[in-house]
């Protein structure tokens, strides 16, 4: 394998702008961004415990990957070539070695020296991920949560063909916990060289965050030659989710949630994510008045449900952090 290649992850919540960012980064000569695959919902693997100890285990694992993970099959990696590459690695084979081999074969004709895998799961505990993927870096793209939820409601999952999310309470819980996790990461010096946070809105408006990512990976700003299209990498079955990926970014979508979400949904997200919205510089002036909110009973039930599910766990986690019995949110 090519030792001088740097590997990293692009982490995100669905519909937060990760495909746009992948396309923009892919335009640079030094960076290549892959597509989704090797997801837990298909393979149910634990990267920190992953070990292939002999050729038989490797053969069984590859059978499982190529049979069960449809998204990985879209990578178009020849199974025999992957197996030969992994056999040269030597046993035991860790998940880090397996994923790196997949990326290098996927990008075998690309001169890029930074290979990025689109996956959010490994971002949940950077302490563990640093051990599983030594030297890998993480780019996390964030977006106004009201815009994310609005897009998730309107988009169909590529596997289930159902809306990605209609549970606004569950969404708010996940987003808030993710933001607390990010805030804790940013406080720790050991993560400063391995993690960078960028915002979808900044990428649309001034591209300053793109320059930050290039500096983060020590890449030049030289563009790739014509013909390197990220849209062509996307499976045909998923392109309906990213119809605008090849077009110039549409600034109007930044505030589309103001017209497309119900007022009770906007008021709920404004209320329970108020601190996160302000910390990230998102406008909270668009706040529906009480008399304009429809479904007031739903709004009150959602607030109560959120508080009952969030605050007991929040205070317990905070106590464990204080006692140093927990190191990652």
Number of Cβ within 10 Å of residue 25's Cβ equals 24
Q: What is the pTM of this model?
A: 0.91
pLDDT of the residue at 138: 96
Least confident of 13-22, 65-74, 229-238: 229-238
Average the pLDDT over 207-223 and give the result.
92
Peptide bond into 92 cis (omega under 30): yes
Backbone angles phi, psi at 48, to 5 degrees: -70, -20
Which residue has better confidence, 42 or 252? 42
Q: Token pair for residue 174?
A: 């996940």
Q: Token pair for residue 71?
A: 């998204």
Residue 310: closest CA among 123, 130, 176, 167: 176
Per-residue pLDDT band for 231 (boundaries 50, 70, 90) equals low
H or E stretch covering 58:
helix 55-68
> Residue 20 contacts by C-beta under 8 Å, 6 or more apart in sequence?
200, 203, 245, 249
Domain ranges of the chain: 6-34+107-249
Q: Token pair for residue 75?
A: 């990578």
pLDDT of the residue at 67: 95
pLDDT > 90? residue 192: no
| Burial annotation 178-206 (CB, 10 A radius, 16+ → b, else e) | bbbbbeebeeeeebeebbbbbbbbbbbee
Q: Give CATH for domain 6-34+107-249.
A: 3.40.50.300
pLDDT > 70? residue 248: no
CA distance 307 to 272: 8
> Residue 129 contacts by C-beta under 8 Å, 6 or more apart in sequence?
47, 122, 123, 136, 138
Q: What is the 3-state secondary structure (H, E, C) of 281-306?
A: CCCCCCCCCHHHCCCHHHHHHHHHHH
pLDDT in tens, 35-86: 999 988 888 889 999 999 999 999 999 999 999 998 999 999 999 999 999 9
Q: Token pair for residue 217?
A: 């990976």
pLDDT of the residue at 200: 94
Average the pLDDT over 180-204 and give the result.
92
pLDDT > 80? residue 247: no
> Residue 210 contacts by C-beta under 8 Å, 6 or more apart in sequence?
24, 25, 203
pLDDT in tens, 129-155: 999 999 999 999 999 999 999 999 999
Least confident of 109-123, 215-229, 242-256: 242-256
pLDDT of the residue at 327: 77
pLDDT of the residue at 68: 94
- Residue percentage of the chain with pLDDT more than 70: 92
pLDDT of the residue at 44: 87
pLDDT > 60? residue 242: no
Per-residue pLDDT band for 32 (boundaries 50, 70, 90) equals very high
pLDDT of the residue at 244: 54
pLDDT of the residue at 190: 87
Which residue has better confidence, 87 or 207? 87
Q: What does each C-alpha distance from 217 to 18, 123, 300 come to in angstroms?
A: 17, 17, 46
Q: Which burial class, exposed, middle or buried, applies to 73 when counting CB atoms under 10 A from its CB (0-12, 13-18, 19+)?
A: middle
Per-residue pLDDT band for 114 (boundaries 50, 70, 90) equals very high
Q: Token pair for residue 263?
A: 């007022």
Least confident of 113-127, 228-242, 266-280, 313-327: 228-242
pLDDT > 50? residue 158: yes
pLDDT > 70? residue 236: no
pLDDT of the residue at 204: 87
Per-residue pLDDT band for 1 (boundaries 50, 70, 90) equals very low
CA distance 170 to 155: 17
Strand positions, DSSP E, the chain: 6-11, 31-33, 114-118, 137-142, 195-199
Longest pairwise C-alpha distance within the chain? 68
């Amino acid at each position: 394998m090519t030792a001088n290649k740097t590997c990293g992850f692009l982490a995100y919540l669905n519909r937060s702008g990760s495909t746009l960012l992948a396309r923009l980064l892919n335009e640079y000569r030094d960076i290549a961004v892959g597509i989704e695959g090797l997801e837990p919902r298909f393979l149910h693997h634990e990267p920190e415990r992953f070990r292939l100890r002999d050729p038989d285990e490797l053969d069984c694992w590859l059978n499982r990957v190529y049979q069960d993970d449809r998204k990985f099959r879209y990578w178009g990696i020849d199974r025999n070539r992957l197996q030969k590459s992994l056999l040269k690695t030597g046993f035991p084979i860790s998940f880090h070695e397996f994923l790196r081999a997949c990326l290098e074969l996927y990008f075998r004709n690309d001169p890029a020296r930074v290979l990025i895998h689109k996956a959010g799961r490994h971002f949940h505990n950077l302490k563990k991920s640093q051990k599983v993927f030594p030297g890998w870096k993480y780019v996390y793209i964030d977006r106004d949560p009201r815009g994310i939820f609005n897009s998730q409601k309107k988009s169909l999952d590529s596997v289930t063909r159902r809306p990605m999310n209609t549970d606004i309470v569950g969404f708010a819980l996940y987003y808030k916990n993710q933001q607390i996790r990010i805030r804790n990461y940013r406080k720790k010096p050991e993560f400063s060289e391995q993690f960078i946070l960028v915002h979808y809105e900044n990428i649309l408006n001034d591209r300053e965050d793109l320059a930050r990512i290039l500096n983060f990976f020590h890449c030049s700003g030289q563009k790739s030659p014509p013909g390197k299209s990220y849209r062509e990498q996307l499976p045909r079955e998923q392109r309906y989710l990213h119809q605008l990926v090849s077009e110039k970014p549409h600034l109007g979508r930044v505030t589309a949630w103001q017209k497309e979400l119900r007022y009770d949904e906007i008021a709920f997200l404004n209320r329970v994510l108020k601190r996160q919205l302000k910390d990230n510089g998102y406008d909270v002036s668009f706040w529906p008045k009480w008399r304009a909110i429809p479904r007031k009973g739903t709004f009150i039930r959602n607030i109560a449900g959120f508080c009952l599910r969030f605050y007991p766990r929040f205070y317990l986690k905070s106590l464990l952090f204080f006692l140093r019995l927990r190191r990652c949110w």
